[in-house]
Amino acid sequence: MELDKVYRVIRFLGIGMIFLSLSWAIFKSSTPSERRPSFAKAVGLYTDGKFEEALEFYEIAISEYPEFVHAKRGRARSLMQLGRDQQALEAFNEVLSLDPDSAVSIANRAILEDRMGLYAKAIEDYERAMKMDPKLEEGLDWFTRFLQNRKGKKQTLPERVETLKGLLEEEKK
C-alpha cells in the first residue's frame, strides 16, 4: 500500500517536470523569434548549411539591431564557412571588440587563423580560449557531433596546438 503512494508521487512529479520543461522550451523558443525574426531565420539557414542565405539574414539582423553581437558572430561564422577568410577575420575581430570574453569566438577565430596559415596567432588564440573555458579542450561531445552530422572525432584543441607548434618548429629549420 505504501509503495503505491510513492509511485503516485513520483509519477505526479515526473509529469509535472515534463510539463514545466515543455512550457519553458516553448516560451524560450518563441521569444527571440518574435523580437528578431531575421536572426532566427539566419540561425535556421546556418544550421541547414545554407551559409550564403544565412549571411544575408545575419546582415539584415545586424541592420535592424546594430549592436547585436550574436548576429555579428553568426555573420563571422558564415563568412568563414563560405571561405571568405579575410572578411571573416575582420568580422571575428569586430565580435571580439564587442564581446572580448567570448571563449567560443576566440576559438572560432583560432580555427580561421589556422586555416589561413597564421599558426602563431592560432596557437595564441587556441590557448587563450582553452584558458578561458577549459571545456573547449574536450571538443564537441558525441551528441553535438551527431546533431551536426559530423563523422568521427576530430583533434582536440590541445592536440591541434601541439601539431601547430610542431609545424612552426619545422618552419624554423
Which of 133, 137, 139, 113 is closest to 125 using CA atoms?
113
Q: In total, how many domains does the chain have? A: 2
Within this chain, do residues 125 and 81 fall inside the same structural domain, yes or no?
Answer: no
Q: Does residue 51 fall inside a structural domain? A: yes
Average pLDDT of the residues in 157-168: 86
Looking at the structure, tell me whether residues 56 and 91 fall in a common domain. yes
**Torsion angle of alpha carbons 143, 33, 90, 168, nearest 10°?**
-10
Position 78 in a domain: yes
In a domain, 11, yes or no: no
Is there a domain that residue 66 lies in?
A: yes
Select from 69, 100, 131 the last residue of a domain. 100
- Domain membership of residue 134 (yes or no) is yes
The count of residues in the chain is: 173
Same domain flag for 93 and 41: yes
Q: Specify the CATH number for the domain of residue 90.
A: 1.25.40.10
88 and 140, same structural domain? no
Distance CA 78, CA 52 (A): 7
In a domain, 30, yes or no: no
For residue 80, how many other CB atoms are within 10 A of its CB?
A: 22
129 and 172 inside one domain: yes
Q: List pLDDT tens digits, range 41-58.
A: 999 999 888 999 999 999
Domain interval for residue 78: 35-100
Residue with cell 580555427: 111
Model confidence pLDDT, tens digit, residues 101-114: 999 999 999 999 99
99 residue type, one letter: D
In angstroms, the CA 121 to CA 14 distance is 50
Same domain, 44 and 94: yes
- Positive or negative CA dihedral for 94, 95, 96, 100? positive
CA gap 157, 109 in Å, rounded: 13
9 within a domain of the structure (yes/no):
no
Q: What band does 12 get if pLDDT is binned at 50, 70 and 90? A: confident
Grid-cell match 597564421, residue found:
118
Mean pLDDT on 162-166? 88
144 found inside a domain: yes
